[in-house]
Amino acid sequence: MRVLLTGARGMLGTDLSALIRERHELHPIDIEEVDITDGPATMALIEKIRPDAIIHTAAYTDVDGCESHVDQAFQVNGEGTRHVAEGAHRSGASMLYVSTDYVFDGKSASPYRVEDEPRPMSVYGKSKLRGEVYTRELAAQHYIVRTGWLYGEHGANFVEKVIGLARDRPRLEIVDDQVGSPTYSKDLAPALLRLVESGRFGTYHVTNDGSCSWFEFARHILDLAGIEDIEVVPTTSERLARPAPRPPYSVLDNSAWREVFGSGLRHWREAIEEYVRHRPR
């Protein structure tokens, strides 16, 4: 299978690149090869490669930055996705679009199912939802995968930020009123490839199992890293006052995935233990 991968140098893209190369013909692209906000250039490149499948991970993921760069967020996450979807349609390729738990408003009392109505709070969530709409409208053979709280070895992430801050400060304040499912990119990447190989089109939620608050996640990270001489205290989103609103509860129900593949990803505690154990000291 000939696979075109956007965002190939990103956190998730790097993990996917290694996996795809083992089994398929990989065509990795990133901003150096084409700017997906340039429609004609994007579609021309896709038609030249003629992929069997496109995995679209390229995105503007700075949640707070999206609030002050609204046009850029919608250009990349919305219109950029439209161009990729149009290219997929023209070349007859299937398309997998990576979306986010932030398409929901967090007011649910139970994990969000794939059929629940999205109500994004932030510019980031709204722009990613726009990408979902374009994918469904334009790419007949599509997969939409919502995930969240992603971390991995090949990019900036919450785990490294917490460990770095803990080594420089005697005290950390971490929000405890946002709950989600931390997801390891090395677990998500093989799931995405498996989905593309399956031909089981549709919308899926895919995260590591279980859930926690950012405070619980940070506390567990520091325990695993053996960092003890620091005070970690819970705080509220209101007090932190970040530019972008976050859903207070963005746990995703992975049952649609389990119905097709039989089992989900491992528990987030097991995944973060592996990450911390193997990270460079």
Q: Catalytic annotation on 204?
A: no
Strands 212-213 and 179-180: antiparallel
Instruction: Specify whether the CB–CB gap between 240 and 182 falls below 8 A.
Output: no
Q: Which of 124, 143, 184, 249 is catalytic?
A: 124
| Helix, strand, coil % over all residues of the chain, rounded to 5 | 45, 20, 35
- What are 265's two structure tokens? 């990803």
What angle in degrees, to the nearest 10, is found between the helix axes of 214-225 and 158-168? 60
Strands (E), 148-259: 150-151, 171-175, 179-180, 183-184, 202-205, 212-213, 231-235
Phi, psi torsion values for 233, nearest 5 degrees: -120, 145
Q: Are 100 and 148 in contact (CB under 8 A)?
A: yes
Which of 94, 116, 218, 270 lies closest to 129 in space, CA to CA? 116
Residues designated as active site: 124
